[in-house]
Homo-oligomer: A and B are copies of this chain.
Amino acid sequence: MNGTKPVGLIIGRFQPLHKGHIEMIRKVSSECSMVIIGIGSAQYSHVPDNPFTSGERYSMIYRSMKAEGINNTVIVPIEDMNIYSLWVSKVRSLCPPFDVVYSNNNATKRLFSEAGYQVHGSPIYNRQEFSGTEVRRRIAEGGDWRSLIPKEAAKVIEEIDGVERIRSIYGGSPDESE
């Protein structure tokens, strides 16, 4: 699991996996002996910001890695905890050992660097379009979302009737009933 190249960790929510993620993973994959892809907020699903289950997101990533020919990734679902003093320890206990964390999130970067990890920003690929928020918005409103995400992710969304799910849940969560 080690060698001369480091092991890298990328954490995202992948709601859904989009082409910006693919570019980031591809680049980190070339710099590292292994890339751990952490699926954040793994316990959540069926709400507007987190429509897909962890298992559905796992499928999107796994199948896209195959299709893209990226061979040195492993996938680890990571349930959120909003107790951030424990979060790095939680990530560490769930993942194989890693050396470098790639993130553009300042809080993530701060937490891992307080814990002594090397932290890299990740390159940005057209963040306007390649964002989960934009993909979910287009699905909900009927825009062109397929061009923003890899083919295998789109297939998963179709297999689980994800378009209909996103449109339904934009109507409010169950705990908002009157």
Contact = CB atoms under 8 A, between A and B. Distances in A.
A2 to B, nearest CB: 9
Interface string A62-106: 110000000000111101101111111110111111000001111
B107 A54 contact: no
Which of A59, A86, A109 has most chain B Cβ within 10 Å? Answer: A86
B174 A84 contact: yes
Given A46-B111, A169-B107, A82 B175 contact: yes
Contacts of A114: 165
Given A46-B111, A175-B80, A93 B54 contact: yes
A103 B174 CA distance: 10
A170 to B, nearest CB: 8
Copies of this protein in the assembly total 6
A126 to B, nearest CB: 12
A30 interface: no
Interface string A157-174: 000000011001111111
24 contacts: A1-B59, A13-B178, A40-B175, A44-B84, A45-B85, A45-B93, A46-B107, A46-B111, A47-B82, A47-B84, A55-B76, A58-B95, A86-B86, A86-B89, A86-B90, A104-B177, A106-B169, A106-B172, A107-B174, A108-B174, A108-B177, A110-B169, A127-B178, A131-B178
